[in-house]
Structure 1
């Protein structure tokens, strides 16, 4: 929308109303602030929701893969053949045997439920979700027969142990005796403490070599519980593993990450949509404020508009002038809101900590939020969509006042002048 020189001059003067029109200026300022707050809130919310999903997905997949091939009755005897078939499936990048079993651990009278995971030593050390997040100790010390384990940081805090201390793991399915089944209790030394960043994992996981897990659970040496499978495209994991599912039918069942965490990721998707709609409503309210401020400006400038018409100003010129005034407010609010959103995201954790100290509340409880820190991942496409929506709503809000100004009849306004 190209403006002539005099149209730009008049639009500039109308953006800063005179002394007798301060109320209009106040309303326009509130309109700009509302657009800014709406865009600011949307940028923060959408970026945090994206970051939450991406961070949670990366950490869950880092420990559980894209899919699990689970044996019936908790045992997968022919696992080497199944792992070979999985690796030969197009799109599969790895197939790792695992033992997963919920058990109980005790230290000096403290009792915690744990999730025991047995892995081959090479797979344990190559797992970036674990190896890159060891905070104390060394995974190299965890070898078959060493009776050393790696545990999550939250579990270490709950049990009050450090590297070098011992924990006792109970297996209720122990050996049968004339007096009944006696639980199997084995003491292990803490060789490493890791912090993945997902509260539930850091609170429960105990990792040990596959051979030690088989011994503790009294499993045959050729038996595991499941095979973790990773693919080159997590979003198409169902299509990639369909041929493998047909091959293992009757021996095992395949569950992918969407099935194992369906409720969580669906809830995130719904919450993201709801927050976007709420943010758009905030911007819509701001657009109504822009429309109301322009209507008041048109009423205040009716005599000026009539004079401009008598001097040769066209209806199109008046439409462009008032649309420019409203759109400028929207553009400024959108720009400031976007910049403010990025600035807030850069210091989001510090802001959260400060607000928490002021209110005395833990605003980011890892036991509820899953992750230990507030994540963020701005999506350029979504940011562009937010900007477009804000500009579109503010543009539409200028149409009625602009055409109302253009429809002013100078004869009726100046008849008694």
Structure 2
């Protein structure tokens, strides 16, 4: 197979001669450093993609994309929902009523946001069914005063399915005997696990009519409507437009007010961490400069002989560019393969390590999810590999240019 002279010699130089193992070692360390930089960058970007994906699908699949709330309890929510769904951006609508308070059981106390729902309508706007550990959403029937809580809240209260607990509302009832807090007994009908500490610990679900009775409303009255948009980034503007169309007695709220800062922080961290890791790859790539400078000094005699045989400065320059490029391509290829395998298995590996040492790296009390997600994206792999190859190629220019300037007479003077 025909190969140009500079390609043939450049690939031969990549395999150092027996008399100079140190140059071979430097070439190997440059290759390994570049490969490690690529591996780390692929894995970290995949983990950041995983956090971004879990934030959008899991957490924002549980919290409302947007809500429409009235100044007064809404009586005919069906007709209001029909008006809202005329907006083409809205995929589904469900009624809700919320009430904050405390859950108590056997001396244990846990704060809770009680979210009253219609189980049939809630499935259209929430993915809660995907995370049920025990019980079913349909068990929240009117008059049963059932409640579904997260596994973290269940553990804190020491309850399971079928147990009774007491909900204490932040209001008091005035009686002839004095003022007493409003309380109601609920039965645990189900337990869910989303993996987000904020949701698993402080969210409770009950039936709309049951909470309406506690609020002393009519059974068909609700606090507002929960909206699901086809594109959650359309929610802020879309909800505002809907509220404007409905009139001054309604106002809108969207997910950017509750979780927007967290989502923006994830996106910004991905960009900043990607930039920092790219600098690591750049350092590894520019180690090729020192490798090639040493090779040029080692091969001055060979360069002089090639020049006397008619090789042009351009040919000499191409030889060493080929050598540096081979180091960059091999290092990048090894790093890409190892990085892809690591990114695909990092979640399972961290989970196994947590089980082995008995320590949780991501505590749900601190982080919004309690596991390490990873989502490998082809464009990230291509971007990392492309950047590594470009930096490797740029690193070859100066040593190759220096080799091309070698004067045969001076190089052979002491040979």
Q: TM-score normalised by the shorter chain: which range applies?
A: over 0.9
Deviations 1:284-338 (A, max 9, x none): 1112211111111101111111111111222222222211111111111211112
Q: CA deviation at 1:78?
A: 6.2
Is the 1:97–1:224 contact (alpha carbons within 8 Å) kept by the matching residues of 2?
yes
Unaligned runs of 5+ in 2: none
Q: How does 1:34-113 map to 2 (within 5 A)?
A: 34-72=33-71, 75-76=73-74, 79-113=77-111
RMSD: 2.3
SS class of match (1:44): helix
Deviations 1:234-286 (A, max 9, x none): 22334434431312342222222223222101211221111101111101111
Q: State how far apart, in whole Å, the 2-side matches of 1:140 and 1:282 are.
A: 53
Q: CA deviation at 1:151?
A: 1.2
Q: State how far apart, in whole Å, the 2-side matches of 1:325 and 1:333 are.
A: 12
Correspondence for 1:291 among 279, 289, 292: 289
| Match in the other structure for 2:27 | 28
| Match in the other structure for 2:214 | 216
| Match in the other structure for 1:319 | 317
Q: CA deviation at 1:126?
A: 5.0
Q: CA deviation at 1:49?
A: 0.8
SS class of match (1:347): helix
Q: CA deviation at 1:9?
A: 2.9
Correspondence for 2:167 among 161, 166, 169: 169
Q: State how far apart, in whole Å, the 1-side matches of 2:243 and 2:123 are.
A: 29
SS class of match (1:339): helix
Of 21-30 and 216-225, more deviation after overlay is shown by 216-225
| Match in the other structure for 1:282 | 280
Is the 1:64–1:228 contact (alpha carbons within 8 Å) kept by the matching residues of 2?
no
Is the 2:50–2:373 contact (alpha carbons within 8 Å) kept by the matching residues of 1?
yes
SS class of match (1:228): strand
Q: CA deviation at 1:134?
A: 1.1
Determine whether 1:372 maps to 2:364. Answer: no
Q: State how far apart, in whole Å, the 2-side matches of 1:365 and 1:238 are.
A: 30
Q: State how far apart, in whole Å, the 2-side matches of 1:130 and 1:289 are.
A: 52
| Match in the other structure for 2:14 | 15
Q: CA deviation at 1:156?
A: 1.0
Is the 1:171–1:217 contact (alpha carbons within 8 Å) kept by the matching residues of 2?
no
Q: CA deviation at 1:155?
A: 0.9
Q: State how far apart, in whole Å, the 2-side matches of 1:80 and 1:339 are.
A: 55
SS class of match (1:132): helix
Is the 1:330–1:394 contact (alpha carbons within 8 Å) kept by the matching residues of 2?
yes
Aligned length: 415
Q: State how far apart, in whole Å, the 1-side matches of 2:11 and 2:138 are.
A: 70
Determine whether 1:413 maps to 2:411. Answer: yes
Is the 1:89–1:243 contact (alpha carbons within 8 Å) kept by the matching residues of 2?
no
Normalised by the size of structure 2, how large is the TM-score?
Answer: 0.93
Is the 1:172–1:182 contact (alpha carbons within 8 Å) kept by the matching residues of 2?
no
Q: State how far apart, in whole Å, the 1-side matches of 2:357 and 2:316 are.
A: 51
Gap change, CA 1:30 and 1:354, over 3 Å in 2: farther
Determine whether 1:231 maps to 2:242. Answer: no
